[in-house]
Structure 1
Amino acid sequence: MTLRVTFLGTSGAVPTVERAPSAIHVNCEGEELLFDCGEGTQRQMMRYGTGFGLSHVFLTHLHGDHILGLPGLVQSLDFNDREEALAIHGPPGSKRTIRQLVHAGGHDPNFPIRIDEVRPGNVALAREEYQVRTFETDHRTTSMGFVLAEADRKGRFDREKAEEELNIPPGPAYGKLHGGEPVELDDGTVVRPEEVVGPPRPGRTVVYTGDTRPVEATVEAAADADLLVHDATFAGDDADRARQTAHSTAVEAAEIARRAGAKRLALTHISSRYAARAGLLESEAKEVFAESGFDGQVFVPDDGDEVEVPFPDADG
């Protein structure tokens, strides 16, 4: 049951030799999703082997370091004879700009592209297995973050109890019970699903803020999240600059993660001023966790890093 996050671009507005502009690839049960598409995203996808089977692109806002990779990506998909439709989701008021990017240079893609404006607090993508929802963020333009939340899974089936205590023979009855249907045994006994099936087990949650100041909406969106990817453009000594540019510091990101109870925090959108010392941001965030006794994990991903997100109950 795959839920894999690949960090394609982790820099701030200015790329560095090591870090490209913002882009995150997510493989969710084999469906490929892209969150933001900074300059050079298609090359990062080649470099790190994510593949190009994207079905949906989600844009947090329209600043260049989050969208300028879109024209090249669309044209390359077209040159490779793509036929499948691609959906691009952006914040309110973004459709015109996204359309211009899709058709940059007069290019007219030969595959269907749907552009969808989504307001914060709505569902951008609904699947039986998961949803991608939006939440409000605070940047210098219309912006929003995204929550990928899996549906609850069925509870565990207690095979030992079914066989040894209730004398239910292995076979179709097990499937019916696990599917929520009662079954009647040969002796007339009716066994209800709750007798052999445990409570529903939570799915996994990944939250991506894009560029933002620390906001209460993120705390709510990231409650008990398995992975929170949060803007951490600056270190603590640049807190004033963070406020001026509507970004967050690593300390602020850590406070949000702590309050939300997020299990892992990925610090991203790293300013080029920390090109050689991104470890400072990680250290500051870890100090917040340590001082509060919070046992969450924190890291600064490099471009190309992959994170496999496990189920909350670990053993799946």
Structure 2
Amino acid sequence: MPLRVTFVGTAGAIPTTERNPSSVFVAREGEGLLFDAGEGTQRQMMRFGTGFSVSQLFVTHLHGDHVLGIPGLLQTMDFNDREDALAIHTPHGTRRQLKSLVNALGNRPTFPVRINEVGDGDVAYRADEYEVRAFETDHDARSVGYALVEDERKGRFDRERAEDLGVPVGPKFSKLHEGEAVELEDGTVVDPEQVVGEPRPGRSIVYTGDTRPTAATIEATAEPDLLIHDATFADDRAERAADTAHSTARQAAEIANRASAKRLALMHISSRYAGQTDDHLAQAREVFAGDGEDVFVPEDGQALEIPYPDGGA
């Protein structure tokens, strides 16, 4: 089942000619999830072909570079004759501000927009096979991060073993794989444990938004396949990072190590660096335990497929 991440905008507070403000689009089996929406997000989505089939929008905090794209995005959806409801998740205590932003142009969207406040530990959204959880972050505004965590998958079905036990090809295979014991014609009972392996882990993505390094990010989920972490500054502005409630690339890598993340994306790059991110990468790679290719500074429009941990489907 495909799980695809598109980095719609990767800049810090001030956009550059190469980078738009923060936004990440996640597509899973035809469902679109959007994390933050800085100004111009709808144009970026057109540019990178994500489409506008977004069912859930997850806002980390209400600084402009993370939300000013919402009015334009809603208007574009309206012009496209959208009818489906859109759920917007936002930190506790920010519903009124977000509602004002949704109605900023004086015209309410013609489709339903539902605003849901979330806090540390809340399940913001539950789908059939995964959920998106909020976790605490440390920024100079009411803020949360989000972890998309898939459910465990069924263990592998050992067809050869089932046939050796006398299970006929057909519906009994499915019953065993679903966890039901089956009885054969001779009265023998075959239990699922005899032919089905251990449950297999799903995939997970953690997105921090803007934050200082926090233990809550480490605890958001075990061994995330992708950690998208604030890395606004390099070491040369570590004090500035602390003062403005952001992280350095090195700090992001330290969090990734402690979380046992498989890959690390360094996000929210300050315009001070004018596209020069070599120091960000070098400093993060000094710390991050993964392969050199497992830590990167995504460019706007870069897309990434997240494979299953066991290489399965």
Q: TM-score, normalised by structure 2?
A: 0.98
State the Cα distance separating 1:109 from its structure 2 match: 1.1
Q: What is the alpha-carbon distance in structure 1 between the residues aligned to residue 2 and residue 90 of structure 2? A: 25
2:224 paired residue number: 225
Structure 2: tracts of 5 or more residues without a match: none
Q: How far is 1:276 from its partner?
A: 2.8
Q: Is 1:307 matched up with 2:288?
A: no
Q: 5 Å matches for 1:180-199?
A: 180-199=179-198
Give the Å deviation of 1:83.
0.6
Contact 1:155/1:200 (<8 A) preserved: yes
Over residues 81-102 of structure 1, what are the superposed CA-to-partner deviations in whole Å (9 max), with x where a residue is unaligned?
A: 1111001000011111111111
Q: Which amino acid aligns with 2:167?
A: I
Q: For residue 111 of structure 1, give the secondary structure of its aligned residue in structure 2.
A: coil
Task: Please say if residues 263 and 290 of structure 2, whose CA atoms lie closer than 8 Å, have aligned partners that are also in contact.
Answer: no
Deviations 1:141-185 (A, max 9, x none): 11000000000000000011111x212111111000000100000
- Return the offset for 1:222: 4.2
**1:283 Cα deviation (Å)?**
1.4
Residue in 1 that maps onto 2:81: 81
Aligned equivalents of 2:115 and 2:154: distance in 1? Answer: 34
The whole-number CA distance in structure 2 between the counterparts of 1:276 and 1:135 is 30
Aligned length: 312
- 1:216-236 residue CA offsets vs partner (Å, 9 max, x unmatched): 001111430000000000001
Alpha-carbon deviations, 1:5-60, whole Å to 9, x = none?
00000000000000000000000121101000000000000000000011010000
Q: Secondary structure at the match of 1:277?
A: coil
Inter-CA distance 185–228: structure 2 relative to 1 (3 Å threshold): same
Identify the residue that residue 111 of structure 2 maps to in structure 1.
111
1:181 is paired with a residue of what secondary structure? coil
What residue number does 1:241 align with?
240
Query: Which aligned runs of 4 or more in structure 1 are off by greater than 3 angstroms?
Result: 293-296
Matching of residue 97 in structure 1 with residue 97 in structure 2: yes
Q: Distance in 1 between matches of 2:103 and 2:246?
A: 30
Give the distance between the partners of 2:79 and 2:149, measured in 1 at CA: 33
Which stretch of structure 1 is more off in the superposition, 14-23 or 216-225?
216-225
Which amino acid counterpart does residue 70 of structure 2 have in structure 1? Answer: L
Q: Secondary structure at the match of 1:11?
A: coil
Could you tell me whether the CA contact under 8 Å between 2:45 and 2:52 is conserved in 1?
yes
In structure 1, what is the Cα distance between the partners aligned to 2:10 and 2:290? Answer: 25
State the identity %: 64
Q: 1:74 is paired with a residue of what secondary structure?
A: helix
What are the superposed Cα offsets for residues 113-139 of structure 1, whole Å, 9 maximum, x if unpaired?
101111111100011200000000000
TM-score using structure 1 length: 0.97
Inter-partner Cα distance in structure 2 for 1:138 and 1:81: 38
